[in-house]
Chain A
Amino acid sequence: MSDGAFEGYGGRHVPEPLQEPLEQLAAAYDDVAESDAFQAELDDLLKTFAGRPTPLYHAGNLSERYGAEIYLKREDLLHGGAHKINNCLGQALLAKHAGRERLIAETGAGQHGTATAMVGALLGLETEIYMGAKDVARQEMNVFRMRLMGAEVNEVTRGNEGLADAVDAALEDFAQNVDDTHYLVGSVVGPDPFPRMVRDFQSVIGREAREQFQERTGDLPDAAVACVGGGSNAIGLFHAFREDPVDFYGAEGGGEGSDSSRHAAPLAKGRDDVIHGMRTRVIDDDVEVHSVSAGLDYPGVGPEHAMFRAVGRCEYTGITDEEALAAFRELSETEGIIPALESSHAIARAIQLAEDGDHDTILVNLSGRGDKDMETAASKFDL
């Protein structure tokens, strides 16, 4: 496996003890990816456990207000409340097939941890979640949910006490327990094979959306928009459209602005670097990683996005905390849908695009629901 997986981005930059286990995981994944039986088992769980397919919703009120037809892919309606379950079911089934007895995962917003706890319970695998102390404090409900489903939640108190620190802790655990443990990485990040494997498991979003959009409008959307933390819901939406004349827009956690010293937008503003086992884009050294949404609060990004940026296939913009909060409120009021703060970044970007007027139809991935963000909302909006 070389750095070349995504035009020079990606690779397997991990300590030697992890090389062989990752090679084995890649081989196991390549096997199941071609197995009809595995795919049938996964499809069945996606349908009966997770609630696929999710609807494509025409956001009529919002469309009327901004003069472009805005469609929402409703991943917020999935079991657990976010797209994370698509990936978790895939990887947990793979782990089970590979004879692993234990799942570990990092989590930021707690959505991925929750989805991991769900599949751990479903498949009878011991589950341990690493979560930064900062996130434990702001996403308490998800901590309770994880514990209720039998997962152990480890509070990570090192460094910035955020998602990046949780990844470090999980990688360490993985290095020590490779024999019986599967590290269920939550986004299209980390060493190979995670970025491509997670992409494949999330690509069901775009496959469904493409078919639904064509069925509904007889055409393809002009633009596809998604928020980008690690980048899994975005790649999941984009992948099916990558050969189509559809413009891609990624909305990163712009924090206090991507030119400020507090943001999580390495594609809008960052540099090439190596982090968490991959070569990719990372925020600058003098920037403190920050986003109002825990799920976007990550200093790096999946290597395939770094490639999309380099070749100009997708345009990435930092959406500020303030813009995201405004969109969070606006979608709640206009459509009666409370989006996750992460997804609110995509809504904000879609509104900007509609206002610019260059696209008649805009498909937005509504990656999750906002129930988990009520406390943040209550404190910001004086509810």
Chain B
Amino acid sequence: MTSEDRRPAGGEPRETRTGSDGGKRPVSADYDSDVEAAIRKNHPALITYLAVGDPSIEETKAYVEALDRGGSDLIELGLPFSEPIAEGPTIQASINRALEAGTTSEAFFELVEDLETDATLLVMTYYNKILQYGDEPDVGPFVKRAAKVGLSGIIVPDLPAEEADPLREACDEHGLDLIFIIAPTTEGERLETIMSQVSGFAYVQARLGTTGARGDVSSATHDSLARLSDYEVPKAVGFGVSEGDHAAEIVEAGADGVIVGSALVDIVAESDDPAAALEAKAEELKRGAVRGSETVTNDTEDAPEPEQP
């Protein structure tokens, strides 16, 4: 099976997508994926993350809408799971708070249904939560519900591409993108396997280890983007991004999008007015990303310009 065959609407692009309000929205005929379209049209895209339910569902709703106002083009909504092995301490603590607040998959989906955002919405969770959603261990019911509430893609950090066929098929059936993570250690055959399964964008992990805000953009980012330069799918870089300047640097290095999680989760945990602070942070990050893309265009006269809507 080639990656072409796996695409939701391979050959015959869909004309509408289901928006987060449940209504139909037009999809550009240029892209056969909502997520890819959201990145390309908003290039360079800002992708933000929050764990849903920290500290409560109601507050998450306000925070997500603040991120949306601040300029997030895509928002990853974390469905909390008790063993988040890909996460660093910051996001783990947030997930634990969400679990302690009693956040269930059902409450998660209801929230997504309620959200009023322009941003394209993704769910980030662990394979366990997807398998266990129905009565029998099966990925189908989760994906069906995710599509119904208006989610456009799924990220599952503990699902290796080699074992992703059932989820890939369910996502294709329901028109969702399945996003995979590329680590600094991913190369050769593994890279090819992942790139044959990925849709929407490739999530480039900037450094080894777990998520967590850090101070600089690692050289691994540059190496990873170079390794991926032959693939057409958009590339977004995450893990450790916390400031507008990082966003600028990442876009300058050739990324199509910037992913930010821990820095936002910190705001939720520490700020007196998280909604306002999140909105301001999103603005800063988006400005940084745009600044980075301007440097790219100015510096490299004969390089192809990033796609603009």
Residues of A within 8 A of B (CB): 1-3, 11-17, 19-21, 23, 158-159, 164, 168, 171-172, 175-176, 178, 271-277, 285
| Complex-state Cα separation, A11 to B131, whole angstroms | 15
Known: A178-B185, A274-B126. A17 touches B160 (CB 8 A): no
| Complex-state Cα separation, A176 to B186, whole angstroms | 15
B131 near A172 with CB under 8 A, answer no
B83 near A17 with CB under 8 A, answer no
Known: A2-B163, A20-B187, A175-B209. A15 touches B128 (CB 8 A): no
Q: List CB contacts (< 8 Å) of B158-201 with chain A.
A: 158-160, 162-163, 180-187, 190, 194
Judge whether B82 is part of the interface by a CB distance below 8 angstroms: yes
Judge whether B137 is part of the interface by a CB distance below 8 angstroms: yes
B160 near A176 with CB under 8 A, answer no
B209 near A19 with CB under 8 A, answer no
Total interface residues on B, CB under 8 Å, equals 33
Known: A16-B180, A19-B185. A274 touches B208 (CB 8 A): no
Majority SS of interface residues in chain B? loop
**Closest 8 interchain pairs by CB?**
A176-B209, A17-B183, A15-B86, A20-B185, A16-B183, A16-B181, A272-B137, A274-B127
What are 9 A-B pairs at a CB distance below 8 A? A13-B127, A15-B158, A17-B186, A20-B187, A20-B190, A171-B85, A172-B210, A274-B126, A275-B128
Residues in A whose Cβ lies below 8 Å from that of B128: 273-275
Residues in B whose Cβ lies below 8 Å from that of A3: 163
Q: List CB contacts (< 8 Å) of B139-175 with chain A.
A: 157-160, 162-163
| B85 closest partner in A (C-beta) | A171
A19 near B163 with CB under 8 A, answer no
Residues in B whose Cβ lies below 8 Å from that of A285: 132
Q: Which of B92, B181, B185, B187 has the most CB of A within 10 A?
A: B185
A273 near B132 with CB under 8 A, answer yes
Known: A20-B190, A159-B82. A175 touches B208 (CB 8 A): yes
Minimum Cβ distance to chain A for residue B262 (Å): 14
B183 near A158 with CB under 8 A, answer no
Residues in A whose Cβ lies below 8 Å from that of B182: 16
Known: A15-B158, A16-B205, A168-B83. 16 other contacts (CB 8 A): A3-B163, A13-B159, A13-B160, A15-B157, A16-B180, A16-B194, A19-B160, A20-B186, A20-B187, A172-B88, A175-B85, A175-B86, A175-B208, A272-B137, A274-B158, A275-B83
Minimum Cβ distance to chain B for residue A6 (Å): 14
| Complex-state Cα separation, A184 to B47, whole angstroms | 37
Minimum Cβ distance to chain A for residue B18 (Å): 28
Interface string of B60-104 (1 = CB under 8 A from A): 000000000000000000000011011010001000100000000
